[in-house]
Amino acid sequence: MKNINLTNIKKAFIDLSQKTEQERNKFLVCLANVIDGRMEEIIRANQRDVKKAKENKLSDAFIERLVLDELGIKKISTKLINMQNLSADLGEIMEQRELENEVVIKKIRTAIGTIAVIYESRPEVTIDVAALCIKSGNVAILKGGTEAVLTNKILYGCIKEALKRSKINASAITLVITRDEISTLLNQSSSLDLVIARGGYELVKAVIAQSKVPVLAHSAGGSRIYIDKSADLAMAEQIIVNAKISKPSACNSVDTILVHKAIAKSFLTKLTTKLKTLDVEVLGDEYTSKLTGVKWANESAWDTEFLDLCLGIKVVSNIEEAVDFINIHTKNHSEAIVAKDQKVIEKFTKQIDTAAIFINCSTRLHDGYVFGLGSEMGISTGKLHARGPVGLKELTTYKWEVYGNGQIR
């Protein structure tokens, strides 16, 4: 592994464990300043990456996630500055008890250690990962997608400069360019503590298959929204439009709308008309298609993460049918309900198995920054260690400290 010195990286983690919150915050400020100063250089590199992606005829959704413009860079800087106000609470006493023999046991929050993050497309993830890891006391090895390689190289240069300015060990963040090095790295269970895989299903599946290191994964996304007969229909329309239109390529955008049959006739005609004016391709079950004239949805549509201006609509008889449908087709990412009936809401929230449930609000809110976590590594759709947005606290673990005065067993 030419560019990965695991001994130096481990030393960097030990060095970082001795830094104060204030010293780790200095890295965030330095990084924001460096990025602002190199904005034009970052944009030029990104434009070259985007041009190549278009030449390679990558999808519009993929290219949308690849673009990093002036507004995107300013958002990155804002997130870095705001992250100073948050804390991973390293050193926090999570639990404490005294035994009968007067031994005192403390459960202390600590950083995880060395984290490898493998991701696709979005170059801003490079900065998110570096910021979240340093802030939470972790060191990181980054492997971004080859499609964003020029942008990532410039952003990594910004990270290296910020590490230098804030007097943090330069090996705390390492960028890997080739896949060969990652394949080797995934076998380093004695040196690596966690792998985070963020990208398409094929990437995540490949990482899980290869890795001898625990993997925290975010693969398929997309959501379903159930509109109950008790729903405020004006609110429902507003939520659906936002969940589809605000960023179709996002992993928290809506793919399927479920509508209670009692309101279907009045609601669907208005909804499909509205969606068509917004250039959304609407697919429907038999009832919806006959009522509104939209294309029929085949069975595969209910499992598709469209990442585009397209969604399916299905009419259901009751909340039980809606819950059964969602639990069959969910990607365990984001699911939603619009309803006033509290018993219906309670049934939905108790029986739906997913990382986050949205009640009378848009699934597009499923985001670490929106949740007040500062930023995120991604959305974890698994159940162990972290679920939903992976922010600062989700990048920590704990250890036990046992204080005695000569006690033995």
Residue-by-residue DSSP string for 328-391: HH--SSEEEEE-S-HHHHHHHHHH--SSEEEESS-GGG-STTTTTSS--S-EE-SSSS--EE--
Residue 120 binned pLDDT confidence (cut-offs 50, 70, 90): confident
Q: Which among 2, 16, 50 has a CA at the least distance from the CA of 175?
A: 2
* Confidence check: pLDDT of 205 > 90: no
- In 196-217, which positions are buried (b, 16+ CB within 10 angstroms) versus exposed (e)? bbbbbeebbebbeeebebebbb
**CATH level 3 topology of 6-219+381-403:** Aldehyde Dehydrogenase; Chain A, domain 1 (3.40.605)
Domain spans in the chain, listed from the N-terminal domain onward = 6-219+381-403, 223-365
* Confidence check: pLDDT of 183 > 90: no
- pLDDT tens-digit map of 304-337: 999 899 999 999 999 999 999 999 999 999 999 9
- pLDDT tens-digit map of 229-267: 999 999 999 999 999 999 998 889 999 999 999 999 999
Q: What distance in Å separates the CA atoms of residue 79 and residue 28, rounded to the nearest whole number?
A: 9
76, 157 Cβ separation under 8 angstroms: no
* Confidence check: pLDDT of 284 > 70: yes
337, 323 Cβ separation under 8 angstroms: no
Q: Which CATH architecture has domain 223-365?
A: 3-Layer(aba) Sandwich (3.40)
- Over range 82-86, report the average pLDDT: 93
* Confidence check: pLDDT of 1 > 80: no
The pLDDT value given to residue 219: 64
- pLDDT tens-digit map of 8-23: 999 999 999 999 999 9
Strand partners, 292: none
Q: Which among 147, 143, 131 has a CA at the least distance from the CA of 67?
A: 147
- pTM of the prediction? 0.86
- pLDDT tens-digit map of 343-398: 999 999 999 999 999 999 999 999 988 998 877 888 888 888 888 989 899 999 99
